[in-house]
Amino acid sequence: MEEVWGSIVEAARGLEGSPLGAFMRRSPMAYPAANLVHLAGLVMLLGGIGALDLRVLGLGRAVPLSALSRYLTPFGLIGIAFSLISGGFMFAADAGALINSRMFQAKMAILVVGLLNAVAFRGLFGDPGGEPSFGARAMAGVSLLSWIAVAALGRLLGYL
């Protein structure tokens, strides 16, 4: 286990020392641009998946769930892609310190929970229709909490 962690830390230091890491620190535009993409990703993620989670949890019952799901899911997916890619770029600037931060580790762990929960939800319910079961609602709750926690920990990282 310690060996695996050692190689993860090594890889993070390698990324920080790489041309990408140097570029993210040196360029006056690169980090702010990645940060904006990161925030756009968060907005699409919570605006898409977060709004759908609330509907699955029982809010806005007048809106047909399966149509809402088909409409909002692409926004959520683009939001996740934006967040992951831009997050990787920002991480490269300071990877050696971030990888050892408990807050960053917690953010990554909860991110994995959110992603696995989303994949499992789609596998089990597809584009949900009708009135969602207790299981679907529980997973929507996990989804909402995990994305909010990932976003909050991301913001708090700035106060490290």
Residues that bind ligand HEM (CB under 6 A): 35, 38-39, 42, 45, 80, 83-84, 87-88, 90-91, 98, 111, 147, 150-151, 154-155, 157-158
Question: Of 65 and 94, which has the nearer Cβ to ligand HEM?
Answer: 94
Quick count: other Cβ atoms within 10 Å of Cβ 99? 20
Q: How far is the CB of 129 from ligand HEM (least distance, A)?
A: 26
Q: How far is the CB of 23 from ligand HEM (least distance, A)?
A: 15
Q: How far is the CB of 65 from ligand HEM (least distance, A)?
A: 23
Element (H or E) spanning 37, and its range?
helix 30-45
Distances (CA, A) of 10 to 15, 42, 160: 9, 29, 21
Q: How far is the CB of 57 from ligand HEM (least distance, A)?
A: 19
Q: Which amino acid is at 68?
A: L
Asked if 53 contacts 143 with a C-beta cutoff of 8 angstroms, the reply is yes
Question: Of 19 and 130, which has the nearer Cβ to ligand HEM?
Answer: 19
Question: Of 38 and 55, which has the nearer Cβ to ligand HEM?
Answer: 38
3-class SS shares of the chain: helix, strand, coil, % to 5: 85, 0, 15
Question: Of 104 and 132, which has the nearer Cβ to ligand HEM?
Answer: 104
Distances (CA, A) of 143 to 27, 53, 111, 130: 35, 7, 10, 20
Question: Of 46 and 65, which has the nearer Cβ to ligand HEM?
Answer: 46
Q: How far is the CB of 59 from ligand HEM (least distance, A)?
A: 21
